[in-house]
Amino acid sequence: MFEVKEKPRLVERAFLLSVILREDEREEADSLLDELSELVENLGIKVCRKVVARTRKRYPGHILGKGKLAEIIGQVGELNCDVIIFDNEISPGQQRNWEEEGKVLVIDRHEVILDVFAERAQTKEASLQVSLARLEYSLPRLRRAWTHLGRQRGGGVTQRGEGEAQIELDQRMLRDKIASTKKEIARVSRTRSTSRKKRQRIPLPSLAIVGYTNAGKSTLLNRLAGSDVLSEDKLFATLDPTSRKVRLPSGRAVVITDTVGFIRKLPHRLVDAFKATLEEALVSNLLLHVVDLSHQEFEKHMQTTLEVLKELGAEDKEILTVYNKIDRTDDQWKRLKARNQKENGAFISCRTGEGIDELLEIIESKLDEGQAVRSYLVPHKKYALVSRLREQGSLVSEETAEGGVRVEATPRGKLDHQMEEFLLASG
């Protein structure tokens, strides 16, 4: 039976390579290689060297010219590396050509991210999404993965010619597996959609935490909810969405969901594959965009997140920018620059707790925008409605009055209609 072949686990020493066409691309290439290095080390592979190679043009066979190719292969041999990892996207043919020249495994950033995702996925849905992305990535690379590509013998009397190529059989089986995986994902997605609908029966406002990977999203959720969601100082520490109930200063309850982090050069195939996982961002009342203010390239990280949100169709959602890790930087210009970028930003430290109370107050004020406070006289026999207002976080004030309880509230959903239907408005 056909299976996607995994890379051998003997890979221990990596040579990272980025190819640029212009010298002004070098600084960003260095930054991306540092990021790739962290991803590779998270897989337990030692990075021996990082090289940015400039070329006047891209050569179709190897990206680089023969001289530079020989130089790189020589360095790989001297360092005894067993894998070359490109930060650039390379074609299946280029992979094969480099492997023939260097006699080592050759992969690209795309495949590294797939491996990290596969290692970190915990829920069935995340595992299926990773499996789908890997299958789709493998389809054009079958010729590299398989050597039994000769023609099968012809069939019976009515069948002519050499028969069907083995690679054609493999491709057909792979497409069948892709189709079945998509069906399974759809089934799991329907189950999750049902769970979301059950949560929405109690119309609590929902918030989604989004942002660049390792910005502190899971740590923020832990700080706000007093929970213990996995949060480590590494890229893609968690892939699966986690929701927790959080109380705002007024006592109002909200549901906050942590989502998978974004990254530069995130393969579009993974954006598509993880759309179901990121749907929480699309149905939320407010997005908390967490930014690592201590990172030298936090502005680029912000732009990457906004671009991915746009791809997901969430660019019109209201976004509150949360600048995290202020305890790690004394650069006041960074705070001022960030504040000028986004007037409604909040500055916090998830580690020390600085700014968390102010963040909760800002969240509450954002949720209250556009919510009209109305006054009701609730009869004593309908007091259960007051309790429901309190549970929903819609109760602003209450006081005992003749004939019942006078309340000021901002009811939402079905409760709003019930208040209008059963209660006497006091004006």
pLDDT of residue 422: 57
Residues 229 and 359 occupy one common structural domain: yes
pLDDT of residue 1: 42
Identify the domain boundary among 117, 144, 164.
Answer: 117
Residues 362 and 382 occupy one common structural domain: no
pLDDT of residue 4: 46
pTM greater than 0.85: no
Mean local confidence (pLDDT), 119-133: 77
Mean local confidence (pLDDT), 185-202: 68
Residue 386 structural domain: 374-425
Is 184 in contact with 123 (CB distance < 8 Å)? Answer: no
Residues 228 and 341 occupy one common structural domain: yes
Going from the C-alpha of 107 to that of each of 95, 112, 159, 273, the distances in angstroms are: 7, 8, 40, 21
For residue 366, the SS3 value is: helix
Residues 362 and 384 occupy one common structural domain: no
| Low-confidence winner among 245-249, 309-313, 321-325 (lowest mean pLDDT) | 309-313
User: How is 241-285 classified by DSSP, letter by letter?
Assistant: -EEEEEE-TTS-EEEEEE-PPB-TT--HHHHHHTTTTTHHHHH-S
Residues 317 and 411 occupy one common structural domain: no
Q: Does 112 fall in a domain?
A: yes
Residues 223 and 292 occupy one common structural domain: yes
Mean local confidence (pLDDT), 359-380: 79
What percent of the chain has a predicted confidence (pLDDT) above 70? 72
User: Which residue, 214, 224, 208, is CA-closest to 353?
Assistant: 224
Going from the C-alpha of 145 to that of each of 11, 25, 96, 312, the distances in angstroms are: 17, 33, 10, 32
Q: Is the pLDDT of residue 161 over 50?
A: no
Residues 319 and 354 occupy one common structural domain: yes
Q: Does 143 fall in a domain?
A: no
Q: Does 262 fall in a domain?
A: yes
Residues 215 and 334 occupy one common structural domain: yes
**43 vs 342, higher pLDDT:** 43
Instruction: Give the pLDDT band (50/70/90) at residue 156.
Output: very low
Mean local confidence (pLDDT), 23-29: 93
Identify the domain boundary among 61, 94, 117.
Answer: 117
Residues 27 and 44 occupy one common structural domain: yes
Identify the domain boundary among 63, 85, 117.
Answer: 117
How does pLDDT run across 414-427, given as a tens digit for each residue? 666 666 665 544 44
Residues 215 and 280 occupy one common structural domain: yes
Q: Does 326 fall in a domain?
A: yes
Q: Does 387 fall in a domain?
A: yes
Residues 104 and 220 occupy one common structural domain: no
Mean local confidence (pLDDT), 212-216: 86
Residues 282 and 404 occupy one common structural domain: no
CATH number of the domain where residue 21 is located: 3.40.50.11060
Overall number of domains in the chain? 3
pLDDT of residue 348: 92
